[in-house]
Amino acid sequence: MRLGETVTLPVTAVDSKQMLLRVIGKGNKERALPLTESVLEMLRAVWLTHRSKKWLFPSRRITTHLPYDTARAAFIKARDQCGFEATFRPHSLRHSFATHMLERGVDIRLIQILLGHSSIRSTEIYTHLSEPLREDLRRLLDETTDGLFEGRRPDHG
């Protein structure tokens, strides 16, 4: 999810019966993301710390959602404590997620839906050719070309 989508999540976005998280993304488009049991438990634990009737991530006043800048500052503080470079930003998590899903063999069209992209081209930008993907590609090319030239002599004529 984008940081802006996360901080504006209302409590009603969580559908624990269907195990979905309803997210309003760019262009006011809604998408339903699958919820895992562990993520649902984490969201419940977060909610128990404040019990806001409206927001999953409220501001200190509880009546408004967490400001974007506050969430970004918390991310930067955590990033710095972990020793990551300053180039690692909240949006980097979306790129990493997309790349890891692709490495696990998830269809790019499904990744497109999860990221909320209207165009597959946007998703392709996120899915960098990582070293595990390069290795998979090399293996596939090896399998495809293995024995291709066996028994053939170069034509010198």
Where in 25-76 does DSSP place strands (E)? 30-34
Where in 1-157 does DSSP place strands (E)? 14-15, 20-24, 30-34
Q: Which two tokens stand for residue 21?
A: 């998280």
Q: Cα angle at 99 between 92 and 145, to 5 degrees?
A: 150
Taking the C-alpha atoms of residue 10 and residue 56, their distance in angstroms, rounded to an integer, is 6
Location of structure tokens 């927001």 = 55
Q: Which residues are catalytically annotated?
A: 2, 26, 91, 94, 117, 126
What 8-state DSSP symbol labels residue 157? -
Q: Collapsing DSSP states into helix, strand and coil, what is residue 42? A: helix
Among left, alpha and beta (phi > 0; psi -120 to 50; other), residue 152 is beta
